[in-house]
Amino acid sequence: MAAESTSFVLNRWITMPSALWSFTLDFYARPGVEQACLTLQANGANVCMVLCGVWLGTRDVACDAQRVVQIKQLATPWHDDVVRPLRDLRNQWRNAALEDALLTPLRMKVKALELEAEQGLMMKLEALTGDWPAGEARNADEWLLELAEGDAEKNRDALHVLRIAVGLAVDQT
């Protein structure tokens, strides 16, 4: 019974709609955003934090040092201890799965777990930031600059793509 209850709660948690998660899925599907996020990720950025920042920026939530610290304090341990190890394992198995058919479905399960972990992080970020007042600022760029960690020069083009996509997101709402 306890296992069933835990499973039910987990399934409900993963499938619960979330404003940040819904925004993320829509934004990620915009032209160029997926590749920009992969570039940021490859350069060391926590893409969940970046996408949370984009969401906050489109809601005109003011970016300040205290809020940036709160986001980083929440997101960094979850990303480092949960998301990144799953991603690393999935990537380690990429070439081996080409030669071992039994490894491919396991790799897909790890990928699904990685996505669930990212969704969990987004839910945590929304719980932290959801009550921050909207309408205080009109520029998502500050959030992007503060939350896109890594080499600024390497991230320049990817951040430019996100800026363009943010403009599209704002224009369409």
Mean pLDDT by 10 residues, the chain (173 residues): 38 63 95 95 93 95 95 97 96 93 94 96 96 86 87 85 80 46
Largest Cα–Cα separation, the chain: 54
Report the number of distinct structural domains present in the chain. Answer: 1
| 155: in domain | yes
pLDDT of residue 87: 95
- By residue count, the chain amounts to 173
Cβ of 47: how many Cβ atoms within 10 Å?
21
Do residues 70 and 83 make contact, with C-beta atoms less than 8 angstroms apart?
Answer: no
Residue 98 counted as domain residue:
no
The verdict on residue 5 lying in a domain is: no
78, part of any domain: no
Q: Establish if 43 belongs to a structural domain.
A: yes
Owning domain of residue 130: 19-69+115-172
Helix, coil or strand: residue 102: coil
Q: Is residue 28 part of a domain?
A: yes
Identify the three-state secondary structure at position 100.
coil
39: in domain: yes
pLDDT digits 0-9 by tens, 112-127:
999 999 999 999 999 9
Q: What is the pLDDT of residue 123?
A: 96
Rounded Cα gap, residues 159 and 157, in angstroms: 5
Q: What is the C-alpha separation between 137 and 134, in angstroms, rounded?
A: 8
As a whole number of angstroms, the distance between CA 102 and CA 166 comes to: 41
Q: What gap in Å lies between CA 167 and CA 21, rounded to an integer?
A: 19
Is residue 142 assigned to a domain? yes
